């Protein structure tokens, strides 16, 4: 076990639909880092994220979370590990039969008994941390705008005070202003709560605003890994056209 690595991906290969989506992907994320996975559509970013949280299994290779091999741990141990991280799904995946406040309270209620006043205080804190107005607390997810739904989902992901946060396309579907706002919120939360963050994104601005490190997936491999400014200089066709698209606008 490597010291200080929260997430370790070692030589992961994944076969999906008759083709190798990942063909030997390796990286490690140390505590406190905000890292982004980028790559074209269909390069398996989301699949990799699902493998790291244990929703799917890689065909070959090893994934470690907090130093524990996901393939070797029992279901109970996996559940215990899962309480230490939060996951923000692409479209929020809020429970549609619960109000926003109940959504945020749900993971806490599963874990410990709190008086109504304490629970209310906790829910309000999480909603304020992600910048949701308190009126939104009583609404159902279907009554919220896309940006607010993302924030509500982030509040739920933060409910159990995770050390590690996974975000799948956090700014997809948000307008540029809302997207930058969300990035700033995430950066502040990551710094002050001491979170380790792994996110997938298509949003170049997110890379510059939010991340410490960018990992580029292409043809099933990591083709570049480093700070966004260094990655942007990499001499590779896909990376060049990816970063060129920003200047073209």
Q: Provide the edge-to-edge strand list for the sheet that holds 85-88.
A: 85-88, 164-168, 196-200, 34-38, 213-218, 221-226
CB of 182 vs another protein, minimal distance in Å: 15
CB burial of residue 176 (10 Å; 0-12, 13-18, 19+): exposed
Q: Does 114 bind another protein (CB under 8 A)?
A: yes
Residues 188-227 that bind another protein (CB under 8 A): 188-189, 191-194
Per-residue interface string for the shown chain with another protein, residues 150-169, x marking contact by CB under 8 A: --------x-xx--------
Please give the structure tokens belonging to residue 204.
């170049």
Nearest C-alpha neighbor of 144 from the set 87, 153, 160: 153
The stretch near another protein (CB under 8 A) out of 35-43, 48-56, 103-111, 232-240 is 103-111
Q: Which is nearer to another protein, 76 or 247 (CB)?
A: 76
Stretch near another protein under the rule CB under 8 A, chosen from 63-71, 187-195, 216-224, 239-247: 187-195
Closer of 84 and 221 to another protein (Cβ) = 84
C-alpha pair distances (Å), 165 with each of 17, 86, 89 = 29, 5, 11
Among 39, 61, 86, 141, binds another protein (CB under 8 A): 141
Site for another protein in 224-243 (CB under 8 A): none
Dihedral sign from CA coordinates of 134, 139, 142, 145? negative
Which residue among 54, 60, 84, 129 contacts another protein (CB under 8 A)? Answer: 129
The helix (H) or strand (E) run that includes residue 11 is strand 5-16
- Counting Cβ atoms within 10 Å, is residue 132 exposed (0-12), middle (13-18) or buried (19+)? buried
Contacts of 132 (CB under 8 A, 6+ apart): 100, 148, 151, 152, 155
Footprint (CB under 8 A) of another protein, residues 80-99: 96-97, 99
**Dihedrals φ, ψ of 144, to 5°?**
-100, 155
Query: Closest approach of Cβ 102 to another protein, in Å?
Result: 7
Question: What x-and-dash track marks residues 15-54 binding another protein by CB under 8 A?
Answer: ----------------------------------------
Between CA 247 and CA 34 the distance in angstroms is 24
Between vectors from CA 248 to CA 245 and to CA 249, what angle results, nearest 5°?
95
Query: Which residue among 125, 172, 204, 223 contacts another protein (CB under 8 A)?
Result: 125
Q: Which is nearer to another protein, 128 or 241 (CB)?
A: 128
| Minimum separation from the CB atom of position 206 to another protein (A) | 21
Binding flag, residue 128, another protein (CB under 8 A): yes
* Chosen residue from 120, 204, 222, 223 binding another protein by CB under 8 A: 120
Tell me which residues touch another protein (CB under 8 A). 96-97, 99, 101-102, 105, 108, 111-125, 128-129, 131, 134, 137-138, 140-142, 158, 160-161, 188-189, 191-194
């Amino acid at each position: 076990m490597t010291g200080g690595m929260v997430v370790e991906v070692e030589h992961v290969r994944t076969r999906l639909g008759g083709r190798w989506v990942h063909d030997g992907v390796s990286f490690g994320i140390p505590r406190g880092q905000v890292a982004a996975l980028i790559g074209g559509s269909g390069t398996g970013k989301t699949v990799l994220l699902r493998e790291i949280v244990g929703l799917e299994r890689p065909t070959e290779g090893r994934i470690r979370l907090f130093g524990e091999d996901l393939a070797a741990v029992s279901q109970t141990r996996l559940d215990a590990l899962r309480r230490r991280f939060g996951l923000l799904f692409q479209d929020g995946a809020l429970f549609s039969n619960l109000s926003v406040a109940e959504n945020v309270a749900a993971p806490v209620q599963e874990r410990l008994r709190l008086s109504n006043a304490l629970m209310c205080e906790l829910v309000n804190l999480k909603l304020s941390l992600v910048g949701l107005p308190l009126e939104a607390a009583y609404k159902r997810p279907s009554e919220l705008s896309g940006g607010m739904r993302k924030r509500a989902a982030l509040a739920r992901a933060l409910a159990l005070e995770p050390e590690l946060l996974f975000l799948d396309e956090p700014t997809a579907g948000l307008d540029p202003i809302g997207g930058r706002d969300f990035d700033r919120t995430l950066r502040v939360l990551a710094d002050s709560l001491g979170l380790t963050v792994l996110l997938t994104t298509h949003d170049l601005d997110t890379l510059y605003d939010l991340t410490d490190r960018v990992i580029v997936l292409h043809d099933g491999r990591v083709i570049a890994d480093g700070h966004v400014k260094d990655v942007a200089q990499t001499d590779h066709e896909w990376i060049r056209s990816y970063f060129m698209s920003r200047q073209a606008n």
